[in-house]
Amino acid sequence: MNSKEKNMTKNEHEKSVVFLGGKSSGKTSIILRFLERPDDQAKPTVGVEYVYARMNKSNSMGKDIGHVWEVGGGVLMSKLIESVIDNKNISSTGIVLTVDLSQPKRLWTVLEHWLRVLKSRVDDVIKHGDDGKNGRIRERLLEAARMKYKEDHPDLDLLDLFPLPITIVCTKYDTFQNFESEERKVICRTLRFLAHTIGAHLQFCSTMKCEGLVSRVKGLISNLLFNTEIAPSQQTAHNKPLSVTAGQDTMQDIGMPPIPDGDVGKLSARTPMELWKYAYTKYFPQEDIMISSSSSSSVKDPSKDIQYKEVEIDALKMQKDQELMKYMKTLERQDELRSL
């Protein structure tokens, strides 16, 4: 990066977008299409790549600058996120999280990993910020996230909004559309639940002669970088490419997770997210992507062991149990009203 580019980065009014996702999930191709560059010679990204985009200012001479970072190498290189999200840019950074629709047996694990990495990094930056301005930054970021939802949205109490704006771009739709109908339905409903819960835009995409989908993705990136307007979208049919802007979906429309009736009484899930994880991974057992898990499903639940009893932990567990019950009851009431 030359001195001119470094000076660009210093401007606090300029925004950044960080591209994350699984290996070979289309991050580089999307960036090249956004920059109006040919993507037929896209090469695998190693480490962190940086480019900047320009856009004519609407009310004055000159151009706005947007900074685009790509973390390549998939989940094994996720620690590199520390180099692109810090206390200087956290208030002006958006995320594009890419998901490969052609690999449903990695989809949940990849999404779960990156959301966990992002949350850890954001929490760490806010906690250890050294510029004296991070005191209320989380509240400001969450307030901005809530603005995507109407005040009377029925699900506000059920959501766990992410502090940074996120767009989930699901690539390789051309392959996905050849899946069995029930497979597509499970994947679509699961992605809708995940995006809705964290307050993310959700967009399916393919670079294979689907200019309409590519154009929609470019508009979402432009919104993150330059605050351009995006038209609300609620295309949720599983036999078409999903396009759902944050705040447009509802838990009622998404429905209950596809859990077999015989499994309901065996579940140990304590949150809606754990419930959907169980349902999705039951349908699509996840492959090992070399992410170490903290525990195995075959290990005895330590929360039931008296030697691990902790008042604070028990209280948190009770809270999560109550949240799950509230979620289930809300969906049941909505189903009853819909059947009238």
Q: What is the CATH number of the domain that holds 232?
A: 3.40.50.300
Both 248 and 104 in one domain: the answer is yes
User: Which of 223, 254, 285 is a domain's end point?
Assistant: 254
Please name which of 47, 144, 43 lies closest in space to residue 93, comparing C-alpha atoms.
144
Based on the fold, state whether residues 270 and 224 are members of the same structural domain: no
Domain that holds residue 173: 3-254
Compute the average pLDDT of residues 45-52: 87
Q: Read off the pLDDT of residues 221-261 as tens digits, 9 standing for 90 and up.
A: 999 999 999 999 999 999 999 999 999 999 999 999 999 87
Confidence of residue 211 (pLDDT cuts 50, 70, 90): confident
* Residue burial 93-107, b: 16+ Cβ < 10 Å; e: rest: bbbbbbbbbbbbebb
Question: Residues 187, 171, 200, 78: is their CA dihedral positive or negative?
Answer: positive
Distance set, CA 254 to CA 44, 106, 187, 272 (Å) = 35, 22, 12, 13
8 Å CB contact between 126 and 134: yes
pLDDT tens digits, one per residue of 303-322: 444 444 555 555 655 665 56
Domain shared by 197 and 296, yes or no: no
Q: What is the pTM of this model?
A: 0.82
The count of structural domains within the chain is: 2
Residues 84 and 168 in one domain: yes
